[in-house]
Amino acid sequence: MKSDNKPMAIVEVLNLKKNFGNTKALKGISFSIGKGEIVGFLGPNGAGKSTTLRILSGLINADSGEAKVCGIDLAAEEGLVKHHIGYLPENNPLPEDLRVIEYLNFRSRLKGLQGSRLKERTKIVLEICDLERKVSERKIGNLSKGFRQRVGIADALLAEPRLVILDEPTIGLDPHQSAITRKMMERLKGDVTFLISSHLLSEVEACCDRMVILSHGQIVAEGTLHDLQKSFIDKTIFEIVTKGDKIEVQKQIREIDNTCELLLDDLVEITGKRRFSFSTLNGEKSAERIIQHLFSSKELKVSEFQIARPDLETIFLRATKQNWEKKALSKYK
């Protein structure tokens, strides 16, 4: 019963494999993406991100495995799938001689739009990507990198796709332009599913609901940031700023949790207080109990505290390092 009521995934990939000659680009990856999600695709160079995106956008065929977009099998109905996908390739190649509006009209016609629907959709994507007024009449060759990227995204959104695949959408953009791109995705979230490949972990962390981390053609991690933090960072780190000395603080902490280790002992200038950083194996709840206990201590006079949540970069490095180590180990076996 539950499986009947389960909403259809927009992307379903099962044991996908792809070789380029002797190089195994994908070694059997499986994942799915639900409707309206923004999923980040991460990995070092050569991990297989672009290969996966190119398979999903119908540019190349997988050697084996299954890939479905909107419930349609890519291998069997590639032409049909392309009606549901918008794709922004890496480096966003565009014809230099056309004006923005000419290019979007050309692409609209190729995607099957015509008449009033074409005009309507063109107007909408110009508005979403902030390309109205003078910019739409300019030649693409005369636009800056940021505007060209917006033209590429506008093209991807033209035919109201259900899945938009963006390969490095914010590379080379300044923070303001990156923020605009993020806002655009936030605006469309829920109606459109996004699959974003990026090296900019801060961008992915800021806008993605879930992440899939690839390394050497395999998925090494998948989930929300919180899930990944729990999976890869086995210690919880917390910081306190207090007037108390190191020995007293350690003693108080060990009364609650004897797995705690002191990581950092630093002087906070001007105030004369000290900043301590501890790790515990017992998770955030233990850290919260410790902090509550320290706050209740009048001698220590804790003025600041925080539970440090590891960022995506830390998780990424940990996840890919584990994969490299496994790979190196397997060579010696």
Partner 1 sequence: MRPFTTILKYELFSLFISSSTYIASFYFLTLLGIGFKFFLESFSYTDWILPPLSSLVVGLFFGAPALVPFLTMRSFAEERKLGTLETLLTTPIDSGILVIGKWSACFIFFSIICILSFIYPLILIYLHPEQGFNLGFSSPHYWVGCSLFLLLYGGSFTAIGIFSSIMTKNQMVAGMLSFTLITLYISLMSISSKSNINNGNLDGNYQLLEQSLAPLTNGFEKLEQFSVGFIDVATIFHQIIFIMFFLVLSTIQLNRLNK
Residues near partner 1, by CB under 8 A: 54, 57-61, 79-80, 82-83, 85, 87, 89, 91, 93-95, 97, 106-107, 109-112, 114, 155
Please, where are the H alpha helices in the chain?
2-5, 49-56, 78-81, 100-110, 115-128, 145-157, 175-188, 201-207, 225-232, 246-256, 283-296, 312-332
Nearest to 91 by CA among 214, 173, 207: 173
Q: How far is the CB of 91 from partner 1 (least distance, A)?
A: 6
> Which is nearer to partner 1, 49 or 107 (by Cβ)?
107
Q: How far is the CB of 254 from partner 1 (least distance, A)?
A: 60
Q: What is the SS3 assignment for 7?
A: coil
> Which is nearer to partner 1, 61 or 292 (by Cβ)?
61
State the helix-helix crossing angle for 175-188 and 115-128, rounded to 10 degrees.
130
Q: What is the SS3 assignment for 241?
A: strand
Q: How far is the CB of 178 from partner 1 (least distance, A)?
A: 22
> Which is nearer to partner 1, 19 or 250 (by Cβ)?
19
Q: How far is the CB of 67 from partner 1 (least distance, A)?
A: 14
Q: What is the SS3 assignment for 223?
A: strand
> Which is nearer to partner 1, 141 or 175 (by Cβ)?
141
> Which is nearer to partner 1, 163 or 220 (by Cβ)?
163
Q: How far is the CB of 249 from partner 1 (least distance, A)?
A: 58
Looking up tokens 């918008």 gives: 86
Q: How far is the CB of 10 from partner 1 (least distance, A)?
A: 17
Report how far Cα 32 is from the mean position of its chain's Cα atoms: 14
Largest Cα separation within the chain, whole Å, is 77
> Which is nearer to partner 1, 7 or 21 (by Cβ)?
21
H or E segment to which residue 219 belongs: strand 218-223
